[in-house]
Each structure stands twice: as C-alpha cells, then as structure tokens.
Amino acid sequence: MNEENVINVNVDGFKEYEGVKKLFESVGCIGQENCFVIAYNRDYLPNGQMGNVTGRTARIGLKNAGITGAIFGGMVAGAMVDAANKAQEEFINSLDDNLKIIFNRDRYCGFLINRTEKGIGFIPLINDYKLLVKVEDFKTEIENFVFIPNEYIKSVEVNKLPMYFSKKLLKITFESGNNPSTAWTFPMKHKLIKYQEENYTKFVNGL
C-alpha cells in the first residue's frame, strides 16, 4: 500500500455505507459479496494503562479476599502484572505480522470489517488512547489494513455476551500456531453506524 495515498477518517467517514465501502475500495478489499460491520476490542487497554488497571484489579481482588497488607498486596499485584505482561508479550511474539495487528490490545480499540467470499478484511480503529471506548471517538488507521484469506480462517462464531441484549461476542479463529481467536464485542446495531443492523444478520449467516 502506498501510504502517501492513505486518507484516514473519523466516524463521519465510515458511518454511512458509501463511506465504509470507499475505505475498503481504497485498500482493494471489495468482493462480489461484501458485508461491512464494526466490532470493538474487548481486550483494549490504551498504551501505558495496562499496569495501572491490572495492578488496581489485583489489589481489589486481594482486599476482597481479606488480604490487607499494603506491602504484601503490592508485591503480589506487581507479580500478577509482570506475569500478565510477559504472557501477552509471548503471545504477540508468536504471531505473524498480520495477526499482531488484529490481536494488538494497547492501540486498536476496534475494527471495521468486510467479510467477502474470499476472506475477511480488517481496518484498525484508534481513539487517541482513551480508556472509555466510544464509536464517536474512532478514527481509522488504514495503513495497517489486514486481509486474511478464507484458507487461514478456521471458524467464525457469534455467541451470546452475558448481561447484554444488543451485543454479541465475535470469535474469529485463525489457522495459525495455536489457533488464536478474537474476543470482540459485536453490536447488533448502532445509532451511528447505519449499515450495522442489516449487515449483522448477513454476517452471522455467512453472507
């Protein structure tokens, strides 16, 4: 891709069908069948936030378990953060360059997706590292577009998401290594994304 010709947009540039179609046309990801949808990265933790969030969660867990010693709690929480960071680093290092983008959790808060008869295209979305994920803040990072052909996709599943009625869990499993799977929030509809409701059904039915 010639990055000089890349034009990134905010939500106004992809909330309508023609806008998102134009984006995928610009990266050559248009098939005979096209299904444009949006999904959010459930594992998203903005760059630099992982230690704060994980450490806080660990300390809360220790407190709830009756462990109140600040020094001991801090040591255990720190060990948990280190272990989580190490596990994540090892996982990312085991992936190829395309999957490293799809499974990045400290930069990409979501993805625009086009499911075609030949495979699935992914345009990463960023939000300037805001912890609260809102579609209104999304911007494309089209220079890191990824296309995964069908032969490298093991399965696509849409499952229930506990406590949510209008959102599902999007699990895309890839034919690579230990068959990593996404765990993305998949809204059935969205007030800003005009094509989401219609294409959700199309996506679930596999085109």
Which two structure tokens, joined as six digits, stand for 197? Answer: 């409701």
pLDDT at 86: 76
CA atoms within 13 A on the CB side of 93: 6
Residue 93 has pLDDT above 90, yes or no: no
Whether the pLDDT of residue 3 is over 70: the answer is no
Q: How many CA atoms lie within 13 A of 41 on its CB side?
A: 27
Q: For the chain, what are the domain ranges? A: 8-44+108-204, 50-93
Please give the Cα distance from 191 to 203 (Å, whole number): 18
Query: Confidence class of residue 69 from pLDDT cuts 50, 70 and 90?
Result: low
The class (CATH top level) of 8-44+108-204 is: mainly beta
> Using alpha carbons only, how large is the chain's radius of gyration in Å?
19
DSSP codes, 19-43: HHHHHHHHTT---SS--EEEEEETT
- For 15, what's the count of Cα atoms within 13 Å in the CB-facing half-sphere? 12
Q: pLDDT band at residue 47, thresholds of 50, 70 and 90?
A: confident
Tell me which H or E stretch contains 79: helix 70-93
